[in-house]
């Protein structure tokens, strides 16, 4: 009988299966070979697939992504690892000015996956805990995914590898080995479609729209609110680009009250885009303002106490939900 596995193991399984399925898939990044990756996602890959498909690189993110783009144009399916997703900024030009625009400029798809650990909660400080999604959500030609469950972690990495265009795959490091989200996964091959949100909890009074690790706080808040007589629906976006506009519209029309929760900082976060979408599609159905719970506009602190203060949590979600429910 299959055993429940972690979010990290699900990513590892997905990558392993894709490399077995398609010999064009290969991986490159810092310490992914001999060391097995900073978090051990690629442990054992070098022994199984060899040094031609598991390539340790210098500390040069621009070079990693540039090499991946070139290989993809030669017919391969590269998966580039950012040791911490924060350092994807070093490859910003390669991603936004070349990979994202190639299909639009001359019809050449760039089927690469750029994956790496994102988010806070592990005391990593300002250079190892960031949420860089919105730099890329603003770039047409990219896809940006952020799985929040073990099932999705595997299904979405497999879907990303098979996609014909560049995908930014944000894996939340706080979830890597979290016992709470261990799952028994299907033995058969499966993918999770990019661009589709999921209803994690049905509700009728208020909608909590979120993604990544924040859905755990939203689910906990929904459970507590239920005891207070407030029925909360929890929507997991899963993909930030493209957004599942139909799912957002449907939940807004259903409950009439929407609270958006994300770990990313406030100004320019996805909450602003979701709010505009609701205003355009479901304004007449609203019974209160669209509210948001986010991190403040500041770098992620090193101090444990300050990081706990900085990040959204269940109590912050509940406080905002009660305020909205009272309208």
Is the separation of the CB atoms in 253 and 279 below 8 Å? no
Q: What is the DSSP-derived secondary structure letter of residue 183? A: B
Other C-beta atoms lying within 10 Å of the C-beta of residue 190: 13
Give the chain's radius of gyration (CA, Å). Answer: 20
Q: What are phi and psi of 230, to 5 degrees?
A: -110, 120
Runs of H (alpha helix) within 50-101: 61-73, 92-93
Is the separation of the CB atoms in 77 and 26 below 8 Å? yes
Task: For residue 139, give the 3-state DSSP assignment.
Answer: coil
Q: What Cα–Cα distance (Å) separates residue 166 from each residue in 68, 146, 154, 159, 291?
A: 10, 14, 18, 12, 32
E strands along 71-161, which residues?
A: 77-81, 113-118, 143-145
Distance CA 311, CA 294 (A): 7
Q: Of 128, 172, 217, 262, which one is the catalytic site residue?
A: 128
Distance CA 119, CA 215 (A): 13
User: In sequence order, which residues have a C-beta less than 8 Å from that of residue 298 and are 6 or more positions away?
Assistant: 265, 310
The single residue listed with the structure tokens 């040069």 is 60
217: annotated active-site residue: no
Mind telling me the catalytic residues? 128
């Amino acid at each position: 009988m299959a055993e429940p596995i972690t979010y990290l193991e699900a990513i590892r399984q997905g990558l392993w299966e894709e490399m077995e399925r398609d010999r064009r898939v290969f991986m490159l990044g810092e310490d992914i070979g001999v060391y097995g990756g900073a978090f051990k996602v690629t442990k054992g890959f070098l022994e199984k697939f060899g040094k031609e498909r598991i390539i340790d690189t210098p500390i040069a993110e621009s070079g990693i992504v540039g090499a991946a783009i070139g290989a993809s144009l030669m017919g391969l399916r590269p998966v580039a690892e950012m040791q911490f997703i924060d350092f994807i900024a070093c490859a910003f030009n390669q991603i936004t000015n070349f990979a994202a625009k190639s299909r639009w400029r001359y019809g050449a798809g760039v089927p690469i996956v750029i994956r790496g650990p994102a988010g806070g909660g592990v005391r990593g400080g300002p250079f190892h805990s960031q949420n860089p999604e919105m730099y890329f959500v603003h770039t047409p030609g990219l896809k940006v995914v952020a799985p929040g469950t073990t099932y999705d972690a595997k299904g979405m990495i497999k879907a990303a590898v098979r996609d014909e265009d560049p995908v930014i795959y944000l894996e939340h490091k706080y979830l890597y080995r979290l016992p709470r989200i261990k799952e028994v996964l299907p033995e058969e091959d499966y993918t999770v479609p990019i661009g589709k949100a999921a209803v994690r909890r049905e509700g009728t009074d208020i909608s909590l729209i979120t993604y990544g690790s924040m859905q755990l706080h939203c689910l906990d808040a929904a459970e507590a609110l239920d005891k207070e007589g407030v029925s909360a629906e929890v929507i997991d976006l899963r993909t930030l680009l493209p957004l599942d506009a139909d799912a957002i519209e449907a939940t807004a029309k259903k409950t009439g009250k929407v609270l958006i929760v994300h770990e990313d900082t406030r100004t320019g976060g996805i909450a602003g885009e979701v709010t505009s979408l609701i205003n355009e599609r479901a304004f007449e159905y609203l019974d209160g303002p669209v509210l948001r719970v986010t991190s403040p506009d500041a770098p992620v602190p090193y101090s444990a106490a300050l990081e706990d203060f900085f990040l959204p949590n269940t109590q912050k979600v509940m406080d905002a939900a009660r305020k909205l429910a009272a309208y």
